[in-house]
Structure 1
């Protein structure tokens, strides 16, 4: 691991060489290690408003998934898989702690966390899986519909770029950008060229990783029981019940025999309501 520069007065930036990539990540705070794994195109900067409300209790780790922003690929032509992402999480945490860590994954990040539970037993003490994008948690027609939505977004992007893809993504996640409520004082997240490139990678490569993955719920539940990892399924309070990622969380909770924890806001509530989200994280994780 290489420590490069200080991002802020308290956060430190690191790089880690892993098979096929170099990962960019940040650490900040004190206490048990808590890895935040982002949704969508989000990189380590995605939760800039959330992290400061957690650093009094946790050593917070944020990172760019391989292929996003500063986490570069050795061979950009090689497909990235969910297994790659899970292996990255395990290697990253091994650099920071010799104890089972805490992880909060949102959407794509939740699916990566679930993959980590299976591939790397004992790495995670607790995983909060907030509305995972994981069609295999659903059965029958619902699974097919979830896959079809993701494929349709890829088609929209291929035909019309982000202008065409954004409305399809909003429909998929039940988001109404014109009426979204948020906490005040949030850091702007403009559509920079780097963020646009992250969207391209997320839609073009990672959607395929999700739909091609064969991890099933029975395998996941067995792995959690064997490793002792506590999995907490989570939903947004205002996410529409018809949204497939919401239904994935319900299906996961059903498999585990638990009730999902409800977080503020909708699918992207962690960025829209960072202070309230931090409090729920502390409550669930015992901070």
Structure 2
């Protein structure tokens, strides 16, 4: 089947201008990235999905080409959820599919709660959502994120990267990947994205008050499928892995296992595409 040519667009939303990309054909599938990831982060994943889906990728507000009207104004998880709802309204009038990874998964759960019916299904891969955890573990998760912010403030990315790797259970020196991946160098733009992610979006996560039952109640009423997911090689002590387990436990189900660890969608794009096609059928 021929797929539609890729188009790059912008969308004005309250407080920001969003940059996004649309390609492929079929049901709309929004990919929402982890960390500092922008629309370019899934350059290796998207081509393996466009035969089945109309794939939408975007830069979250404040990242890369999605500019903020007021850079000093705090960004909230509600802002991100509202951005997704407005973006999807631009590309479809049907409930969309969404695959969210880490930060993107937490945003997806916000969308389900704040905008019932916008999503037909959400794959929530290791959401960074401390409120999913019991109180003591929640406090540990928040303390870990706060420690990364402190390391970044004291020593920049060089100090923050080891803390981030420990937080996500990643060993950069021994990380397996598929072959022939597109290089993702640490460009000045990516460095700036890390700064925005750590300095602005960490507080959005740690101060968020969404109760984890809210998206589950909204999903039940709207008929939205929530699919908790974990990385096959993510260490079980990683907080985001435990968030996915906690979400699955609240739903009385088991998480879907994806290839690789926390960043498996970029390390194993072909295998990730196969699992997404299977679970989103």
Q: TM-score, normalised by structure 1?
A: 0.96
CA distance in 2 between partners of 1:273 and 1:11 (Å): 22
Q: CA deviation at 1:218?
A: 1.9
Q: CA deviation at 1:60?
A: 0.2
CA distance in 2 between partners of 1:42 and 1:202 (Å): 9
CA distance in 2 between partners of 1:103 and 1:175 (Å): 25
Is the partner of 2:39 in helix, strand or coil?
coil
CA distance in 2 between partners of 1:227 and 1:208 (Å): 30
Which residue of structure 2 lines up, in the alignment, with residue 3 of structure 1?
none
CA distance in 2 between partners of 1:188 and 1:70 (Å): 20
Q: Which aligned pairs between 1:227-246 and structure 2 lie closer than 5 A?
A: 227-246=222-241
Q: CA deviation at 1:174?
A: 0.3
CA distance in 1 between partners of 2:127 and 2:204 (Å): 14
Q: CA deviation at 1:10?
A: 2.5
Post-superposition Cα deviations, 1:187-245, rounded to whole Å, max 9, x if no partner, equal 00000000000000000000000000000112222111122110000000000000000
1:172 to 2:167 alignment:
yes
Mark the runs of 5 or more structure 1 residues left unpaired by the alignment.
Answer: 1-8
Which residue of structure 1 lines up, in the alignment, with residue 65 of structure 2?
70
Which residue of structure 2 lines up, in the alignment, with residue 285 of structure 1?
280
Is the partner of 1:46 in helix, strand or coil?
helix
1:186 to 2:181 alignment:
yes
Which residue of structure 2 lines up, in the alignment, with residue 147 of structure 1?
142
Mark the runs of 5 or more structure 2 residues left unpaired by the alignment.
Answer: none
CA distance in 2 between partners of 1:103 and 1:219 (Å): 18
CA distance in 2 between partners of 1:180 and 1:51 (Å): 22
Is the partner of 1:271 in helix, strand or coil?
helix
Post-superposition Cα deviations, 1:111-146, rounded to whole Å, max 9, x if no partner, equal 000000000000000000000000000012110000
Match of 1:43 among 30, 38, 56: 38
CA distance in 2 between partners of 1:201 and 1:162 (Å): 12
1:114 to 2:109 alignment:
yes
Which residue of structure 2 lines up, in the alignment, with residue 56 of structure 1?
51
CA distance in 2 between partners of 1:55 and 1:204 (Å): 34
Off by >6 Å, runs of 4+ in structure 1: none
